[in-house]
Structure formats: structure tokens, C-alpha cells
């Protein structure tokens, strides 16, 4: 028995309609269930410790740059003229004492000149003795008239001339003695030899430089301080000077009476202690002049991030979300840094690990150990 065939297209359309109806019902059911389920809490991005800003006494200071130089540098030169340098006994870096022999000149010529001067003095003394005897006879015979007035005057003049001649040759002898004495070059003060130009065999004129000496081995730091900050600098003030990574404490000796017209800076001369050879003349150094103290809001340095040339901190809200904020920083000391502006005193700040956070992250807070209040920062 044959049944009449139904068209296929209506059947396909009917099946599609049934499938759409079923999927719609399923979607409505799922949506109804989701609307009843509570929203899942966001997962914390990081576990952090927080720190609160701490008010502390912060030492105020004036910073400056400058160079280390010799306190005084003595120039040791040749005092004798035309003598040959026979021996040089010291070199650069040697520590010498006052009066120590630094070099010697060949003194053979000076000794010969001194011997000649002594002979000239002896001859002048003999001439003076003869002239004095003749003058005395003239004085004795003058009342009797045995000698004319002219003869008496000549004999008395001869005595005075012989006396003057003796004094002249004695002065020449003294010059030769000094020349012989200057054959040895002596240190004018205790200190350190900083330069040497003396060369064995050289014949040098009087006044030529042979050595340079840092007197007493003393060094000073010459800091350049802005004119606006000079009023805070005074004699006797302590200064922390750092040139080699190991700071030393110096003392202000003098403030220059003038200010450089080009830089508007003035030199401040700071006496430095003996640093065991770590400090050298000519080194560049930074210094800080302690000028007092003030209270300031501080944070651990690990809490402050540097991004794009600005300083930021992350504060934690009551909901556990972090908020990035820009702050202005000031002085530093140890692991603390001064916060000048941009932070509330009661804020909870991420103490470390902020580099792994972004604005809006959720964090888990772990209480940090209490911070002992510091008394001073520099």
C-alpha cells in the first residue's frame, strides 16, 4: 500500500524550530541559576606587608661638591747660585721632618771661595793693625808738632779705611759661608713631598724650584656652597666629606669672604683628619654640612618606587585593593626616606614588593613587625 510522500522542506523547518526552542529554554534556565549564585571574590595578586608613615627627627644639611687640596704647599728652592746638584735624597710621597736634608749640591767651589775669603780677611786684619798703630803714633806726636796736621790726618784716615776694608771682606766671607751652608737643601717644615723637579747633575740658579711639600701632611676640602645657603655655614661646624666611599668628618675652618660672580658659589675651607692615605690632594668629594634638625614624615625606602623619574607608593584600601599615588621625597638616612608631600599620615603603604603590583590589584595584607621610632635622620 503506497502512502503519499510529504514534502521534505517543511519537515526540516519544523525540526529547526524545535531545536531553537529547546536551546532558548536551556539558556533561560542557566541565566536564572547564575543570577541566584553569589559573585566570586577576586583572587589576591600578592601577599604584602604594610607600613604606616612614621614621624621622626630629621637632621637638616647643606650639600656641596668640591675638591680636596693641600692645606698649604711649600715650595723648596735652590738658595745658592750656580752650584751643581750632587745628590737627591727624597722622592714624591716621602714623609720628611723639619730640617731634614732633601738634596745636596757639590760644595767644592764654595769651600774654595770660603778659603779665599778667609785669607782676604786675615790680610785686612793685618792692614788694619798697621794702620791703627800708625794712627796711634800720630795722636801721640800731634801735640809736639813732629808731624804736620796733613800727615796726622792721612794716618787717621788710613786707619778708618783699613777698618772699613776689614768689615767688607768679613761680609764677603759671611756670604761664602752661607753659600756653603745652602749646599744642603733642608725641609722648611714637616710634611709630605708632593712634587720633585730636582735632577742630579743639574746646575740651577738661585730661586729655582726643587721640591713641593704639603706642610704637616694636612689636607682640606674646598666645598662650593651656593650664596643663598652661606648663612647656614659657620666656623667649627662639622662636615661629612665622602671622596673614597668611606666618609670622614671634617671641621669648617674658614668661609671665603667673596662669592664667585660667575657661579654664585663661595668656597668653604674644611680641615680634614688623617684618613690613613685614603684621601689625596686633587680628589673630588661631596660633603654635607649639618645645620640642625626638624620633624618629618618618613617611610622605609623599599616602600617608594621610582617610575618615569617620579616617586610612587601603593596604599592599601579597606577592600584590599591598592592605589598608586605620586609622592615627593626629601632626605634619606639608612633605610628611611622623608616624604615631603602626597601621603596621609594614617595611610597604609605597601612596604615592599610594590614593583610587582599595578593600580587596582587586590592584595592579602600581613601585619609587619612594629617599627622602633628613630630619633634622628641625616
Residue 368, pLDDT score: 60
337: enclosing H helix or E strand: strand 336-341
Residue 51, pLDDT score: 86
What CATH code would you report for 63-71+218-290? 2.40.30.170
Q: What is the pLDDT of residues 49-92, one digit of tens each?
A: 888 888 887 777 889 999 999 999 999 999 888 889 999 999 99
Q: Exposure of 63 by Cβ count < 10 A (0-12 exposed, 13-18 middle, 19+ buried)?
A: middle
- The strand pair at 336-341 and 284-300 is best described as antiparallel
Residue 334, pLDDT score: 72
Gap between the Cα atoms of 352 and 338, Å rounded: 17
Going from the C-alpha of 20 to that of each of 25, 27, 32, 124, the distances in angstroms are 9, 11, 18, 148
What CATH code would you report for 47-61+294-366? 2.40.420.20
Average pLDDT value for the chain: 84
- The strand pair at 322-333 and 336-341 is best described as antiparallel
- What is the layout of strands, in order, in the sheet containing 203-204? 184-186, 101-105, 83-88, 203-204
291: enclosing H helix or E strand: strand 284-300
Gap between the Cα atoms of 360 and 357, Å rounded: 8
- The strand pair at 363-366 and 46-51 is best described as parallel
Segment 229-255 mean pLDDT: 91
What CATH code would you report for 107-182? 1.10.287
For the chain, which residues make up each domain, given as ranges?
Answer: 47-61+294-366, 63-71+218-290, 72-105+183-217, 107-182
Q: What is the pLDDT of residues 174-184, one digit of tens each?
A: 988 888 888 99
Residue 152, pLDDT score: 85
Q: Cβ neighbours of residue 290 under 8 Å, at least 6 residues apart? A: 59, 60, 61, 237, 238, 239, 240, 378
Q: Which of 156, 137, 157, 135 is nearest to 146 (CA)?
A: 137
Is-contact 336 300, C-beta < 8 A?
yes
Residue 11, pLDDT score: 46
User: pTM score, two decimals?
Assistant: 0.60
Which CATH architecture describes the domain 72-105+183-217? Beta Barrel (2.40)
**Residue 2 pLDDT grade (very low, low, confident, very high; cuts 50, 70, 90):** very low
Is-contact 179 113, C-beta < 8 A?
yes
Sign of CA dihedral 273, 277, 282, 287: negative
Q: What is the pLDDT of residues 11-62, one digit of tens each?
A: 444 454 444 444 444 444 444 444 444 555 556 667 888 888 888 877 778 8
Q: Inform me whether the pLDDT recorded for 207 exceeds 80.
A: yes
Q: What is the pLDDT of residues 349-359, one digit of tens each?
A: 998 877 788 88
Residue with cell 771682606: 169
Q: Which of 136, 115, 133 is nearest to 125 (CA)?
A: 133
Residue 16, pLDDT score: 47
Amino acid at each position: 500500500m503506497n502512502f503519499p510522500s510529504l514534502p521534505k522542506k517543511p519537515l526540516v523547518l519544523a525540526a529547526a524550530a524545535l531545536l531553537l526552542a529547546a536551546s532558548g529554554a536551556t539558556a533561560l534556565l542557566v541565566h536564572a541559576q547564575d543570577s541566584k549564585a553569589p559573585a566570586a571574590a577576586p583572587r589576591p595578586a600578592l601577599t604584602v606587608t604594610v607600613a604606616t608613615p612614621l614621624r621622626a627627627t630629621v637632621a637638616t644639611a647643606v650639600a656641596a661638591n668640591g675638591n680636596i687640596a693641600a692645606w698649604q704647599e711649600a715650595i723648596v728652592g735652590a738658595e745658592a747660585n750656580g752650584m751643581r746638584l750632587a745628590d737627591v735624597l727624597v722622592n714624591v710621597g716621602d714623609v720628611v721632618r723639619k730640617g731634614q736634608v732633601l738634596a745636596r749640591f757639590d760644595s767644592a767651589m764654595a769651600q774654595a771661595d770660603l778659603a779665599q775669603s778667609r785669607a782676604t780677611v786675615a790680610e785686612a786684619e793685618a792692614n788694619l793693625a798697621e794702620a791703627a798703630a800708625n794712627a796711634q803714633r800720630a795722636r801721640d806726636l800731634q801735640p809736639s808738632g813732629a808731624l804736620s796736621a796733613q800727615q796726622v790726618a792721612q794716618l787717621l784716615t788710613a786707619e778708618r779705611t783699613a777698618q772699613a776694608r776689614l768689615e767688607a771682606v768679613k761680609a764677603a766671607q759671611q756670604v761664602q759661608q752661607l753659600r756653603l751652608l745652602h749646599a744642603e737643601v733642608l725641609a722648611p717644615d714637616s710634611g709630605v713631598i708632593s712634587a720633585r723637579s730636582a735632577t742630579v747633575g743639574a746646575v740651577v740658579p738661585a730661586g729655582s724650584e726643587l721640591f713641593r711639600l704639603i706642610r704637616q701632611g694636612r689636607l682640606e676640602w674646598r666645598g662650593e656652597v651656593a650664596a643663598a645657603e652661606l648663612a647656614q655655614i659657620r666656623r667649627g661646624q662639622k662636615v661629612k666629606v665622602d671622596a673614597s666611599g668611606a666618609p670622614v668628618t671634617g671641621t669648617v675652618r674658614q668661609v671665603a669672604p667673596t662669592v664667585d660672580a660667575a657661579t654664585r658659589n663661595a668656597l668653604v675651607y674644611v680641615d680634614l683628619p688623617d684618613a690613613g692615605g685614603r684621601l689625596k690632594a686633587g680628589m673630588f668629594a661631596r660633603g654635607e654640612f649639618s645645620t640642625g634638625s626638624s620633624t618629618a614624615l618618613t617611610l622605609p625606602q623599599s616602600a617608594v618606587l621610582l617610575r618615569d623619574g617620579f616617586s610612587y607608593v601603593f596604599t592599601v584600601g579597606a577592600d584590599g585593593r591598592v592605589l598608586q599615588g605620586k609622592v615627593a621625597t626629601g632626605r634619606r638616612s639608612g633605610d628611611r626616606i622623608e616624604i615631603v608631600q602626597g601621603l596621609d599620615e594614617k595611610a597604609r603603604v605597601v612596604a615592599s614588593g610594590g614593583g610587582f603590583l599595578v593600580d587596582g590589584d587586590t592584595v592579602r595584607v600581613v601585619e609587619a613587625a612594629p617599627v622602633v621610632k628613630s630619633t634622628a635622620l641625616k
